[in-house]
Amino acid sequence: MSELLARLRGVVGDANVLAGGDLSAWEVDWRKRWRGRALAVVRPGSTAEVAHVVRLCAEHGTPIVPQGGNTGLVGGSVPDDSGRQLVLSLARLDRVRSLDAANLTMTVEAGCVLQRAQEAAADAGLLLALSLGAEGSCTIGGNLATNAGGTQVLRYGNAREQCLGLEVVTAAGDVWDGLTGLRKDNTGYDLRDLMIGSEGTLGIITAATMKLQPRPAAVLTALATLPTLDAAVSLLALARSTLGAGLTGFEVMNAFSLALVRKRFPLLRQPLPPAPWTVLLEQSDAEGESHGAAALEALLSTALERGLIDDTAIATSVEQANAMWHLRESITLAQAEEGPNIKHDISLPVSAIRDFVASTDAALERALPGIRLVDFGHLGDGNLHYNVQCREGEDPVEFLRHEAEVNRIVYDAVAARQGSVSAEHGIGRLKLDEMTVRKSPVALAMMRAIKSALDPSGVLNPGRVLPPPATP
């Protein structure tokens, strides 16, 4: 192996091959669920260097774990504990290569932090409409490798739908230059979308051309309380038909989510009284503040008349709007303060959500009386972070013994309604077992065939996404 490291140093320079010392920043994932051990961390400075590194690793049969901001939630970007896997960090490929305002596109390197890309777009008076909690440290390459979602999917789609072109280093160490800024291109198979969401197992994304949007003239934010989840589904339909594409956010939170925020962060002001459900609505208006406010007020007063909502508060300043989003984003932290919880990132047809929540809440209560449910998420996309919190004062170790049982109840209920066990976080290593159980064997066979075709020696992020075939 020292021969490989020596050759890698020749390619990227001594300072960019880290072996020995504290590598935990690259070896341990964000949630600290996986603590791996890397052969080394290599930090190439250009696409050509990435390709060269891949060729050397392929020659030596050394597996590569590509890594961006290392903010993933499913163990996809940290090495296993064999000490044989090389972490290939894209962090030094962090340039905004170009921005084409007339074409509404920007080309960004994989290691560029999402927030920096957002800022570059804003500097040009435009909007990069990908936004998620980790945006201060996650990178565009990781966003695309995992097809990240976030809070604006309702209007602008996942990372996949915001990407027009890619530059990718293949398993053979070739560079595919697919950096097109075209809205339409029907010349052959859709390699772009195959790479997006493949979590580094089919190729290493080194740069991307992303769609930009005109910046809305005004963004309006409101909270509304509702008696039932049914009412939230009806409010969503009403908001879609009256605001049209202006509706850019629609988040739901159950009573316990906000109660937990109230308990753990008592200084955060909650503008509305406790209610079974609360919705956070965001509207982006192309015309301006007064038009946007009038449209949002009209929507909410219709919803009041119809009995869909009980109470409402519209933010009258950017600070108030940020405070509303802050409530939503504090749920995860409040959960962590409260003790252990079992997280899910599921999606369902919107029409099935009410029934799913009612029957799964009940099934969990039967199985684990007193269990507490933190139901919140992106209702507009059918995506719930349906999290299960330990009972008040329960021993953490005791509680986590129920993880498999809880997952089975939740995922069986998801599967019965044609839902997904990973809406936006991906598979990584965390959900390999679920892939085996839940995914159609025909789909798995096609995925394995594609993996073998594009990475025949299995050098790219092995052991992620695809479970090994069952041994007879």
Q: How far is the CB of 273 from a copy of itself (least distance, A)?
A: 28
User: E-strand spans in 290-424?
Assistant: 311-314, 341-342, 346-347, 372-378, 383-389
In the list 1, 6, 25, 237, the residue contacting a copy of itself (rule: CB under 8 A) is 237
Q: Which is nearer to a copy of itself, 46 or 103 (CB)?
A: 103
The type of residue at 163 is C
Q: Which is nearer to a copy of itself, 159 or 223 (CB)?
A: 159
Nearest to a copy of itself of 41, 348 (CB atom): 348
Residue 146 to residues 35, 47, 432, 467: CA-CA distances in angstroms? Answer: 20, 20, 15, 17
Q: At what angle do helices 229-243 and 289-305 cross, to 10 degrees?
A: 140
Residue 306, number of CB atoms within 10 A of its CB: 12
Q: What's the N-to-C CA distance of the chain in angstroms?
A: 35
Angle (CA) 133 46 118, round 5°: 30
Interface with a copy of itself, residue 465, by CB under 8 A: yes
Q: Does 181 bind a copy of itself (CB under 8 A)?
A: yes
Among 59, 119, 190, 412, binds a copy of itself (CB under 8 A): 190
Q: Which residues pair with 249 in a beta bridge?
A: 282
CB 192 → a copy of itself: shortest distance, Å?
8
| Using rule CB under 8 A, residue 436 touches a copy of itself | no
44, 93 Cβ separation under 8 angstroms: yes
Question: Does residue number 104 form part of the binding site for a copy of itself (CB under 8 A)?
Answer: yes
Closest CA to 368 of 407, 326, 311: 407
Which of 1, 6, 25, 182 binds a copy of itself (CB under 8 A)? It is 182
Please give the size of the binding site for a copy of itself, defined by CB under 8 A: 97
List the interface residues with a copy of itself, window 135-154 (CB under 8 A). Answer: 146-147, 149, 153
Written as six digits, the tokens of 157 are: 């789609």
Question: How many Cβ atoms sit within 10 Å of the Cβ of residue 472?
Answer: 3
d(CA 418, CA 438): 10
What character string, x for contact with a copy of itself (CB under 8 A) and - otherwise, covers 337-376?
----------xxxxxx------------------------
CB of 423 to a copy of itself, least distance (A): 4
Position 468, amino acid? P
Nearer to a copy of itself by Cβ, of 24 and 241: the residue is 241
Q: How far is the CB of 104 from a copy of itself (least distance, A)?
A: 7
Give the residue, chosen from 3, 21, 22, 188, that forms a contact with a copy of itself under the rule CB under 8 A: 188
Asked whether position 102 contacts a copy of itself by CB under 8 A, the answer is yes
**Contact, 78 vs 201, CB < 8 A?**
no
Of 3, 22, 32, 187, the one binding a copy of itself by CB under 8 A = 187
Q: Is residue 341 within 8 Å of 385, Cβ to Cβ? A: no
Is 111 a residue that touches a copy of itself (CB under 8 A)?
Answer: no
Q: Does 317 bind a copy of itself (CB under 8 A)?
A: no
Site for a copy of itself in 252-291 (CB under 8 A): 284-287
Enumerate residues 6+ apart whose C-beta is below 8 A from 102: none
Length of the chain: 472
Contact flag: residue 457 with a copy of itself (CB under 8 A)? no
Interaction between residue 421 and a copy of itself (CB under 8 A): yes
Site string for a copy of itself, 379-408 (x = CB under 8 A): --xxx-------------------------
Q: Which residues between 41 and 80 bind a copy of itself (CB under 8 A)?
A: none
**Per CB under 8 A, 332 contacts a copy of itself:** no
Residue 324 or 423 having the CB closest to a copy of itself: 423
Return d(Cα 382, Cα 378) in angstroms, integer: 6
Mapped onto helix, strand or coil, the DSSP state of residue 86 is strand
